[in-house]
Amino acid sequence: MLSYRHGYHAGNHADVLKHAVALQIIQYLKRKEKAFAVFDTHAGAGLYDFESSFAQKNKEYESGITKLWEIEKPHSALLADYLSLVKQFNPNGKLRYYPGSPLIAQQTIRHQDSIKLFELHSSEAPVLSGSSQQIKNRSRTQVIEADGLKAILPFLPPPSRRALTLIDPSYEQREEYAAVSHCLSKAIKRFSGGVYVVWYPCINKEESSNFSSQLSRQTEHAWLNVELHVSTQNDKGMQGSGLFVVNPPWTLAGALNEALPELVKLLSTDESAKFVLNSHAV
């Protein structure tokens, strides 16, 4: 797990889906004046430079955010908001810097809100601390060098009783699927009213294929599951990614219904690309 560096993958199709949805949820939480918290269990480095050696190795951003950058304006509001935020980190009009979920949250929250960022990697945590100090709301942000799946639980529920929790490990080890499922179950028991977003890869492995069904058994609350498959013919690599959202905002399904056809058209690598959107109401 500690060999994983998100810099190799920053801005790819999975990041586009994950970060567009995270931003949508934060914007929804801001509709009420009452404060909320953002928790990020695997925060990474925070900000990514596409000219770095990490990003240049595979240039995965070219299959993701670059495709959106090249169009004048997305049709869907969800994608338009997301692209507008990324542009804030590239004011000269050239796509070079990409904000991870920590900086997306920092750029969006208000003075009454707070962020806790967990990162276990000894090389990533200091970079994250530096990145998070460079933009607004840094006084409301805490970086914790720890395993987020375990370290997050004592912070639940937050004092405000409102929160978004993003759970997105690399899943390089099979055991991480069980660890995520266990964390989600424990978190919901401690704080049933929070919004939880679990990211997972869509790959040709049993633990991935059955993961959303497994997660749905962890909660009796409302949930939404979305998957974006840029291809269904890639038997070896990542075909796409999914998000399992517990207690989703009521606006999220509609926003995704509008955005997903556009995402499939923009990010597909072949004609087999598709999306999946399921939900369960209480």
In a domain, 1, yes or no: no
pLDDT in tens, 267-277: 999 999 999 99
Q: How many helices (H) and strands (E) does the chain have?
A: 11, 10
For the chain, the domain total comes to: 1
- Annotate 73-117 with DSSP letters as a single string: --SSHHHHHHHHHHHHT-TTS---EEE-HHHHHHHH--TT-EEEE
- Domain of 67 in residue numbering reads as 6-280
In a domain, 40, yes or no: yes
Tell me what the mean pLDDT of segment 204-229 comes to.
91
CATH number of residue 69's parent domain:
3.40.50.150
In a domain, 141, yes or no: yes
In a domain, 125, yes or no: yes
* CA 169 – CA 236 distance, rounded (Å): 20
Question: pLDDT class for 236, splitting at 50, 70, 90?
Answer: low
Q: Mean pLDDT score of the chain, rounded to an integer? A: 90
Helix (H) or strand (E) holding 1, with range, is none
Residue % of the chain over a pLDDT of 70: 90
Burial pattern 154-167, b for ≥16 Cβ within 10 A else e, equals ebbebeeebbbbbb
Candidates 147, 168, 235, 270; catalytic one: 168
pLDDT in tens, 110-140: 999 999 999 887 566 666 766 655 555 566 8
What are φ and ψ of residue 215, in 5° steps? -65, -35
Q: Is 178 exposed, middle or buried (0-12, 13-18, 19+ CB in 10 A)?
A: exposed
* CA 196 – CA 215 distance, rounded (Å): 11
Write down the pLDDT at residue 1.
44
For the entire predicted model, the pTM comes to: 0.93
> Does 49 participate in catalysis according to the annotation?
no
**Among all chains, which residue has been given the structure tokens 């928790």?**
39
